[in-house]
């Protein structure tokens, strides 16, 4: 198995060493993937298209620190939610999503991605920077956002027929738990 680690905005130190091969692990900023159906996809983190991350470095660092604190608060918050009979809900994800929506509107994130794909001859892009899992077609370009693993536990898969699907690990885990409990 080969692993390609795509560096992102939290990997400044790792980016200094890319490209780097460590046996079966390759550290890189991007790579090209050809799908089962022959589509040429750009695999990239996506922070390159976020104007705040690129040009507002101090704001980005501050946001990262606030996000880390909110992740810790989530544990306490969800402990009490569970005691009251409520399911998992992420305050940090909610606030981050709202902030990202504002940034995306201001920076034309998706528009920048589509221009990049068109200029480089890609049929689509797989990214994850904005943490909003979705699959859509934008101006003839396949846009796949994997979401994130830390809060959403989402991932993108391609089946043997070349169909791409988003999976939500928490939903899968919940379904498996219900099946185990029922048996």
The residues facing 145 across adjacent strands are 127, 134
Domain limits of the chain? 3-182
In the structure encoding, which two tokens stand for residue 93, read together? 């994800």
CA 58 to chain centre: 22
- Please report the pLDDT score of residue 37 as a whole number: 97
The answer, yes or no, to whether residue 136 has pLDDT greater than 60, is yes
Residue 106 has pLDDT above 60, yes or no: no
pLDDT at 134: 93
Give the model confidence (pLDDT) of 159-180 as tens digits: 999 999 999 988 776 776 677 7
Tokens of 8: 């992102």
Beta bridge partners of 158: 164
**What's the whole-number average pLDDT of the chain?**
86
In the chain, how long is the greatest CA-to-CA distance? 55
How many angstroms separate the CA atoms of 102 and 62, rounded? 16
Q: Over 70: is that where the pLDDT of 101 sits?
A: yes
pTM metric for this prediction: 0.70
* Residue 105 pLDDT class (50, 70, 90 cuts): low
* Between 112 and 39, residue with greater pLDDT: 39
- Tokens standing for residue 160: 């043997």
DSSP letter (8 states) at residue 54: H
């Amino acid at each position: 198995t080969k692993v390609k680690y795509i560096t992102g905005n939290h990997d400044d130190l790792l980016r200094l060493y890319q490209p780097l091969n460590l046996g079966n692990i390759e550290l890189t900023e991007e790579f090209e993937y050809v799908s089962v159906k022959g589509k040429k996809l750009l695999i990239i983190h996506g922070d390159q298209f976020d104007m705040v991350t690129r040009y507002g470095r101090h704001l980005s660092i501050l946001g990262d620190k606030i996000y880390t604190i909110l992740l810790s608060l989530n544990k306490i918050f969800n402990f009490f939610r569970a005691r009251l009979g409520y399911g998992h809900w992420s305050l940090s994800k909610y606030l981050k999503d709202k902030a990202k929506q504002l940034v995306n509107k201001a920076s034309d994130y998706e528009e920048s991605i589509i221009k990049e794909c068109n200029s480089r001859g890609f049929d689509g892009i797989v990214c994850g920077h904005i943490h909003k899992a979705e699959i859509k077609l934008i101006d003839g370009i396949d846009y796949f956002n994997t979401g994130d693993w830390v809060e959403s536990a989402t991932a993108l898969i391609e089946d043997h027929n070349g169909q791409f699907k988003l999976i939500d690990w928490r939903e899968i885990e919940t379904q498996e738990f219900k099946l185990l409990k029922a048996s």
